[in-house]
Amino acid sequence: MVLRAMHREKRSVILPEKAGDARGTLGSTPMKTPRRDRWIGRLAWANAIAMGLVVLLGATVTATGSGFGCGESWPLCHGRFLPPLTMEGIIEYSHRVTTLASGLLLVVLLVLVAIERRQVFARWEARIVAGLLVGTLLLQSALGAAAVLAPRHPLVMAVHFGVSLTVFASALVLALVLTRGEALRRRRASGAPQTVTRGAWALLVGTYAVVYLGAYVRHSNASLACLDWPLCQGQLIPELSGATGIVFLHRLSALILTLGLLVLVVRLSSDSELRRRRGDLVSSGMLALGLLLVQSATGAWVVFSRMSLMSILGHAAVVTMLFGVLAILAVQSLPVRGDGRQVAPVVLSEQLQTSRS
C-alpha cells in the first residue's frame, strides 16, 4: 500500500512538469499565458514587416537618388537630429529612422523571448536564426554608414542590398519559429528527400547571387543597357562586354534560377506520398515559383517603363518576398535533430522504476 501511494504521488508531481515543458522550465514556474504568447507572436511578425519596410525604403532611397539627402553625416542628418525639409532628406532620414525602430523592436522581441520562452533558444535552428538576424542587422547598419561616409561603390551598395534581404528573411523565419514552431517541427520530423533539401538551399544561394547581380546592375547605372526584353538589343546573345554583358548575365542567371525552381516544384508535385506528408514544401515551392515569374514580369516593367519609380519598387518588393519564401522552404526541408528535450519522460521512467523497487 505504501509503495502504491508513493507511486501515485510521484506521478502527480512529474506529469504536470512534463505538460508544462512546452511553455516554461520543467515544473518550476507556472505555464505562460496564451496572451503573452500572442504578444510575442505579434511582435515577431511586426519585426518581420519592419525589416521588409527597411528594404523597400532603401530601394526608394536608391531609386530617387536620395542617398546623400543627409549629406555625409551619419547617424545624424547634416549634423542635426531632424532632417532638412527636402524630399531627398526626408526619404533618407525615414530610412534611417525605420532601421533604428526595427532594431529596437528586435531587441524588445529577443528580451521577451529570453524571459518568457527561453526554451526556444535550446534549439539550434532558433539560435542560428536569431544570431544571423542580429549579426546581419549590425552589418547592414555598418554598410549603410559606409555608403554615406565613403564613396558609393557599386560593389558595396550591392552587398548592402543583399544583406538587407538576409535580415528580412531571418526575421521572417524567426517569426515562423516563434508562432508555428511546433507545427513546423512536426512537419520536418516526417522527413524530406535529400535532393529536395539540397535543391532548396541551392536555390536560396542562387537567388542571393541573382539579387546581387541585379543590385550591381542598378547601382552601376546599367539597368537600361538592354532597352528591350527578353532580348537584348534585339539579339538573343548580345555583345558580352561592359554594361550590356552585366545585364545579360543577370538575365541569364535569372532564367537558370527559374528552370531550377521549376524542376524542384515538379519533383515535389509528382510524388504523391511526398505531397501527402509534406504539403508545406509543395505550397512553399509553388508560391516561390509564382513570385519568381512575377519578378521576371516586374523586370520587364522596369525596362519598358524606362525605370519608373513604381516599377523599381515593385521589382524590389517581389524579390524581397521571393527570398523570404525560399528561406522558409529551405528551413522546412531541414531534418530534425535531437536537442535533449526528452528529459521529462526519462525522469518519469527512472522514478517509476525506483517506486517499483
Neighbours of 12 (CB within 10 A): 9
Q: From CA 74, how far away is CA 81, in angstroms rounded?
A: 10
Candidate list 92, 125, 182, 273, residue with the active-site label = 92
C-alpha cell at 286: 509553388
Cβ 190 vs Cβ 278: under 8 Å:
yes
Non-local (6+) Cβ contacts of 75 within 8 A are 96, 100, 145
CA 61 vs CA 89, 160, 180, 334: distances in Å:
10, 13, 34, 36
Q: From CA 245, how far away is CA 257, in angstroms rounded?
A: 18
Non-local (6+) Cβ contacts of 220 within 8 A are 154, 243, 246
Is 182 tagged catalytic?
A: no
Of 316, 265, 324, 325, the C-alpha closest to 295 is: 316
Bridge partner residues of 235 (DSSP): 232
Residue 190 backbone dihedrals phi, psi, to 5 degrees: -75, -10
Of 313, 73, 6, 331, the C-alpha closest to 187 is: 331
Q: From CA 295, how far away is CA 319, in angstroms rounded?
A: 6
CA 53 vs CA 60, 138, 149, 164, 347: distances in Å:
10, 17, 23, 10, 47
In the chain, the N- to C-terminal Cα span, in Å, equals 13
Residues involved in catalysis: 92
